[in-house]
Amino acid sequence: MGDRTSSDESRSLSVRDRRFCIRYPFAGDVVVLDLETGSRTEGVTSDLSLGGIFVCTSKPLGSNTRVRVTLTKKDQKLEALGMVRIVKPRIGMGIEFLDLEQPHYSTLCRWIEQLGKVR
């Protein structure tokens, strides 16, 4: 039997099909700063993974925009450099984490561990 996936089919895979991290429902306040223009967008997360977040906002930034993300949940804060990968007009944007320094990476891992236990 041959391979059933042609090269044309593999090129048309959606981002959802290419995800490599489990996403967990997660609500936290987010401030996203466009590193090029300095514009600021606020929103709330709908999900979180080790690879990034989805930010619900009526004013998403453009695809491939480099950003600084500040995510706050209760008294904990996470800061990361990222890039907008998915834009859904008037709904929000998916942001991939590119760089998280300590202690922010530890905070993310702790949140993911807690969310994994709930499942």
pLDDT tens digits for 55-95?
999 999 999 999 999 999 999 999 999 999 999 999 999 99
CA-based R_g, the chain, Å: 16
Please give the CATH architecture assigned to the domain spanning 22-118: Beta Barrel (2.40)
Q: What pLDDT score was predicted for residue 18? A: 53
- Per-residue pLDDT band for 116 (boundaries 50, 70, 90) equals confident
Give the predicted TM-score (pTM) of the model. 0.81
DSSP state of 21: S
pLDDT tens, 13-29? Answer: 454 445 578 899 999 99
- How does the average pLDDT of the chain come out, rounded? 87
Q: What is the DSSP letter of 51?
A: S
Domain coordinates in residue numbering, the chain: 22-118
DSSP annotation of 103 = T
Q: What is the spatial distance between Cα 59 and Cα 57, in angstroms, rounded to a whole number?
A: 5
Reference 95, options 59, 58, 48; nearest CA is 48
